[in-house]
Structures are given as C-alpha cells and as structure tokens.
Amino acid sequence: MKGRVVFHGAPTELGFMCLVEAINRSRLTALSIRHCIHSLFNRAIRFLTVPVIFLSSVPAIRAANNPGIVKGTDQFEFVYRVKLPEIKGQARVWIPLAKTDAFQTVTEEELNIPMKWEKVHDRDYGNDICVLYPQPDDSGKAIEVKYRVVRREKAAYPAGNTDAARYLRPERLVPVNETFRTLAQKAAAGKTSDLERAKALYDHVIGRMRYDKSGTGWGRGDAVYACDVRTGNCSDFHAYFIALARSIGIPARFAIGATIPADRNEGTIDGYHCWAEFLANGRWVPVDISEAWKNPKLADYYFGHNPANRFELTKGRDLVVDPEPASGPINFLAYPLLEMNGQVIKTETTFKFRRIGA
C-alpha cells in the first residue's frame, strides 16, 4: 500500500525579525521599507506554494539542537520478530499488526508466520491483531513481520466525529475517581480552557513523577501505582495523565509503538514507547510526557507534537478481541501476548529498523 505524505508548513518569523533589525540599523526610508516588506512577502508566498509532496522520498530531517527529534517525515523499515519458547499444551499468541492512518503509511513487506494463524480486530479501536495457534512442533520457531513505513510528524489535528464520551470512561488500570479529580483540580486551578488545563496537568506529571524502571510494578500503565510511587516508564506517565484528564472531563486516549532512533540509521530498538492524546477545541492534541521528563528542553515541543521518528502499533487499553485471552481484555498490545495452558508466558521479542534514503 503506497501513499504520499503532505507536509504543511509556514514561514518562520525570522525574516520579519531581520527586517526590523535592518530598519533599526540603517534607518531605511519609508519607500525602502515598503520595498523590503513587498520582497519578503513574495518570498513567503513562494515558500507556501512550493510543492512538498516529494518529502515522502527524502531522508529524515534531524531538528537542529534536538538530535532526538526528526521533523517533517521519516522513512524506515521496521522488523518485528518473536521467537517462541517451548510449547507445552494449548497455546495462543496475540501480536499487533500496524496499520496505515493519517500520520503513517504502512506496507507489510514480509509476513513470515510458519503456523496456523488468523487476523482479527479488537472491538473498540479497530486494531489489526494476528492470533497464532502454535503447536509443540512450533517450539523455537520465529515469527517475523517486516514493514516499510513513511511517518509524518504529528501536531494537533481535527477530531472529526469522535465519540468523546468513550475517552472519559475508566479502564482497569486507569480509574476515574475522587483522588485523581482532587489532584487534577488542584493542578489546573485558575485555568479555564481545556487546553490550559491539560497543559497544567502535563506540567504536574512532569514535576511529580520520575522516570525510573527499578523495582516492581512499573510498566503496566497503572495510574494508581504511578500516583502513589511517583515513578515508572512511559506507560505509567501517560496512564497517570489520562486518569487526571478524564477525572476533570477532558477526554484522553493512549497509543503505543516504538521510537525510531534519530542518532543512527539502523539497528535494534530498545523496547516499546507510548504516548497520549487529549481532546480540546475539537482537536486531538498529542503529548509525550516521559520524553519531556527525560529532555526538559523539549518539554514545550512534546506538548502538542509527536516527532516523525515514531511507529504506532496499536491504540487504546483493555482491548476486547475474539478469541479472548484467558486473562481477559488485553491491557495494551505492543509485545506479543502468549498464553499457554491459560498462563501468560514471556516471549523473546526484538524490534529492528533501517532508515530508508539515509
């Protein structure tokens, strides 16, 4: 499946700042000032009308002074690989299958699944999920999905016909209760718009939590754990934010995938990454709070943006699928969920990438 990515941009204020400096420095005449403004305006118009559909075929653009961010578009191959353990008894595996959406064009280049499987969709979010039925003879086999991806930097975007009420409801590990409501109201006191209130919650999470994967309990996207212990990984940061937002009437939702390293063009990726979005003024606004915590200079950027070096695998929490796991709805799906004789078993999972055109 091929598509083209369109980048929407606008001239920066730099040209106008330079004009002001020139006026102050050289005392331009009124006629000269009008000439300069006319010239600058023409250059701005040319900037706006330059065709930009070719951006889907150019190398990633690293943001100056921010080496972890790729702006505009990014292109890469992504390999999702799972090695099965020894299969004893009845087993099933649920694996995410990435989809094309408004911000990523995804093509499955190779689908190597050497056993019985079927493709299903979860009930509420429409994620594509591969369900495998491995037998003892499949022990030690590898499942590999290779994608070709064009990803576009994400900013706030129209919500369309979103059912906002859905994103105010609690989830198993993201409750909506008086504890979160009290914390959120205190953090957002004096703010009037949903955008301002969400920014106050964003700042609150950054100030209250610490990115720390030591001990046990982290990594489940458990908002109560995050609130009490004040540490965790990206799933805990965003579960806490979503619980706070929903508790004061701001719809919010979760997505998970991977960060594509910006400082190299191929290799292994160190695990999944997740982020959130909230609804304000009819637009979904992306936030990445754990990355903002790790990179304070980028905190303003990560309120309202996801860079192009991201790859989304699934959306949502408590995924309801048929066949359903014995453990119930899937908390979130990035790594495979393997159940053997009704018990959850870890798998050996590897993410790799290769940037295209670098």
145: left (phi over 0), alpha (psi -120 to 50) or beta: beta
Distance between CA 40 and CA 44 in Å, rounded? 6
Q: Which of 329, 278, 276 lies closest to 306, judged by CA?
A: 276
For the chain, which residues make up each domain, given as ranges?
14-57, 73-152+331-355, 154-315
254 Cα distance to chain centroid? 8
Find out whether 198 and 184 touch, Cβ atoms under 8 Å: no
Query: pTM of the full predicted structure?
Result: 0.83
3-state helix, strand, coil in the chain (%, to 5): 30, 35, 35
pLDDT of 65: 64
d(Cα 294, Cα 232) in Å, to the nearest integer?
A: 12
CATH of 154-315, one of 1.20.210.10, 3.40.47.10, 3.40.50.1000, 3.10.620.30: 3.10.620.30
* Residue 332 CA: distances (Å) to CA of 89, 129, 137, 357: 25, 12, 29, 32
CATH dotted code for 73-152+331-355: 2.60.40.2250
Question: What are the strands, taking DSSP E only, across 43-83?
Answer: 61-63, 66-71, 73-83
Q: How far is CA 275 from CA 66, 77, 131, in A?
A: 19, 21, 25
CA-based Rg of the chain, rounded to a whole angstrom?
23
Three-point CA angle 8, 196, 201, nearest 5°: 105
How far apart (Å, rounded) are the C-alpha atoms in residues 302 and 293?
10
Instruction: Name the nearest CA neighbour of 132 among 326, 339, 311.
Output: 339
pLDDT at position 62 is: 64
Side chain identity at residue 314, one-letter code: T
pLDDT for 16 equals 35
Instruction: Spell out, as residue ranges, where the chain has pLDDT lower than 50.
Output: 1-58
Residue 64 confidence (pLDDT): 56
Maximum C-alpha span of the chain: 87
Q: How far apart are CA 352 and CA 45, in angstroms?
A: 41
Cα 198 off chain centre by: 17
Residues near 260 by beta carbon (within 8 Å), at least 6 away in sequence: 70, 74, 76, 78, 151, 269, 309, 310, 311, 353, 355
278 backbone dihedrals φ, ψ, rounded to 5°: -125, 160
**What is the number of other CB atoms lying within 10 angstroms of the CB of residue 120?**
16
Mapping DSSP to helix (H, G, I), strand (E, B) and coil, where does residue 314 land? strand
